Structure 1
Amino acid sequence: MLTLEKVRLGYDRTTVVHDVSIEVPDSGIVAVLGHNGAGKTTLLRGAIGLLRPMAGRVVFDGEDVGRLGPSARVARGLAYVPQGQQAFGDLSTRENLRLVAEQHRAPASRMDEVLDLFPALAELMDRRAGLLSGGQRQQLAIARALLTGPRLLMLDEPTEGIQPNVVQLIERTIVELAAAGLAVLLVEQHVGFALQAASTYAVLTSGRITDRGEGGATSTDTVRTAMRI
């Protein structure tokens, strides 16, 4: 579904990601692990088109999308949930969802499916997004991304700074989406859930892949060593 081929990314003259190659299949979860500052967010920004690669290729469903902007990539089936529970704070939950649904001509059934995944949002439709808790805003951010009808969902630290009961809900939802056939590229620095859920993983250290392999709880010690914990 998505292939990053020896991608080099950075800001101005500073290189942050050095010739990284990652493949995400048509379904399932691929995890990119690493500490803060490892280049994980930069990698996702390059995949969605917020950064143009200094070198290498971004290929989505067989098409080189390196020259396409974020909106064109979203239209092709890529979705990106940035770090930080982002939403339009002055708009209600309903308005946040409707804005995306109308822009992408989402059928009413898709809205129903999203609210089934995050039932708490159905009870908060008239509340301003800026007044939601961090966990509620993260649910809203993921719901907005799903309304675009993606084939691949990229998540940047989706459980960071969120209360434990909501973390469990989000983790369960990610697994359910992948089981239903959605491809997921999951960026995390906490290895436990990511390795349990992912079919494969890659460890990013200072912008370079220092380890990769199959997911599963048995990989935890290997990954922690690669991350130098």
Structure 2
Amino acid sequence: MGEAMLAVVDVDVAYGRTTVVHGIDLTVPADGVTSVLGHNGAGKTTLLAAAAGLLPAARGRILLDGEDVTRLPPNRRVARGLAYVPQGQQSFGQLTAGENLQVVADGRRDGRAATDEALDLFPALKDLLGRQAGLLSGGQRQQLAIARALITRPRLLVLDEPTEGIQPSVVTEIERTIVELTRRGGLAVLLAEQHVGFALDVADRYYVLASGRVASEGTGGTGAARDVRTAMAI
């Protein structure tokens, strides 16, 4: 493992007066995948939103590539190499798939090349560029959302429930892409998942959240799935 691309240090996150994430410590290595597992309501999305700057940390620090970004807004975290793909296969539904990619590529010096590289990772999208994004399947929209994020050439890709509601063949494709991207180097991935098999297949490190706290953590390997399922039963 290399240096930490993201470090979450003793972080609390609250909605109003209600704290939903409590004292989280989490590290995302610069050259691998970190999975955050847990049931609905465990605090996964809240934690990822705080990492991306969409929710403030009520306590603690968030470091991006060694720099304290705890008080920085999302756009400044994006400028430092963070890309966030929220839950729900989000896209501009009235635009074509190609226009969805173009929105991000426009104004980037390497926009065309970055778009071509993203499409090489998701070749099924190449035949769908002229189709309205709102008419794509959930799996196709999720591939589009990840491709769009990759056009920014991030150093940290944050994915919230990337397999939710997606057919198994596309889950396999997304898994393959994540593994390939991190193997190339220069990209760290933090993902939140309920799909234990997928999360552990891609992860170099995992954390299990229960009631907004880390219930278990580890590095995969023998016994990881059993450990995760035990922790998620809390």
After TM superposition, what 4+ stretches of structure 1 lie above 3 angstroms from structure 2? 103-107
Q: Which one of 198, 201, 212 corresponds to residue 203 of structure 2? A: 198
| Counterpart Cα distance in 2 of 1:161 and 1:105 | 35
Letter paired with 1:90: Q
Offset of residue 217 of structure 1: 5.2
Deviations 1:138-189 (A, max 9, x none): 0000001101110011111101101111111111111111111111111111
1:9 has 2:13 as partner: yes
Q: Which one of 87, 90, 100 corresponds to residue 104 of structure 2? A: 100
| Counterpart Cα distance in 2 of 1:67 and 1:116 | 36
Give the corresponding residue for 2:76: 72
| Counterpart Cα distance in 2 of 1:197 and 1:139 | 17
Unaligned runs of 5+ in 1: none
Give the corresponding residue for 2:231: 226
Offset of residue 106 of structure 1: 3.5
Give the corresponding residue for 1:82: 86
Offset of residue 107 of structure 1: 3.4
1:185 has 2:190 as partner: yes
CA contact (8 A) 1:106 1:148 kept: no
Letter paired with 1:58: I
Offset of residue 218 of structure 1: 3.0
Letter paired with 1:207: G
Give the corresponding residue for 1:140: 144
Offset of residue 199 of structure 1: 1.2
Deviates more, 1:179-188 or 1:216-225: 216-225
Give the corresponding residue for 2:58: 54
The alignment's TM-score, normalised by the length of structure 2, stands at 0.95
Unaligned runs of 5+ in 2: none
Q: Number of aligned pairs?
A: 229
Offset of residue 108 of structure 1: 1.9
2:130 partner SS: coil
Give the corresponding residue for 1:159: 163
Give the corresponding residue for 1:208: 213
Residue identity (%): 64
Letter paired with 1:144: R
| Counterpart Cα distance in 1 of 2:91 and 2:215 | 34
1:29 has 2:33 as partner: yes
1:117 has 2:121 as partner: yes
1:45 has 2:49 as partner: yes
Q: Which one of 20, 23, 28 corresponds to residue 19 of structure 1? A: 23
CA contact (8 A) 2:84 2:158 kept: yes
Aligned-residue CA RMSD in angstroms?
1.2
Letter paired with 1:97: L
Deviates more, 1:118-127 or 1:83-92: 118-127
| Counterpart Cα distance in 1 of 2:222 and 2:90 | 31
Letter paired with 1:131: L
Give the corresponding residue for 1:168: 172
The alignment's TM-score, normalised by the length of structure 1, stands at 0.97
1:113 partner SS: helix
Pick closer, same or farther for the CA change 1:76–1:177 going to 2, 3 Å.
Answer: same
CA contact (8 A) 2:163 2:195 kept: no
